[in-house]
Amino acid sequence: MSTTTQAKGPRRYLSRPDQAKRYSKSVRTIKRWGADPDMKMPPEYDFNGPHRAEDELEVWERGRIATLKD
């Protein structure tokens, strides 16, 4: 584990409802985005239901913004 990850504290995972709230979308939309290879969302982890790592979502968000700027 890198020191950067340690400095941020424990890794957080967001459930689909948490992701839906973060992006102001429905849970169904989050599920659809995850199934769409063109969206290139981070992988899901199964912790009593599907979750994605918050830090991986932040990297994905930055990539989406960079793509929109081009």
* Residue 55 within any structural domain of the chain: yes
What is the tally of structural domains in the chain? 1
* Residue 39 within any structural domain of the chain: yes
* Residue 25 within any structural domain of the chain: yes
Range of the domain at 21: 9-69
pLDDT of residue 9: 86
Terminal-to-terminal C-alpha distance of the chain: 33
pTM of the model: 0.80
* Residue 4 within any structural domain of the chain: no
> Which H helix or E strand runs over 52?
strand 50-53
* Residue 2 within any structural domain of the chain: no
| pLDDT tens track for 6-57 | 467 899 999 999 999 999 999 999 999 999 999 999 999 999 999 999 999 9
* Residue 27 within any structural domain of the chain: yes
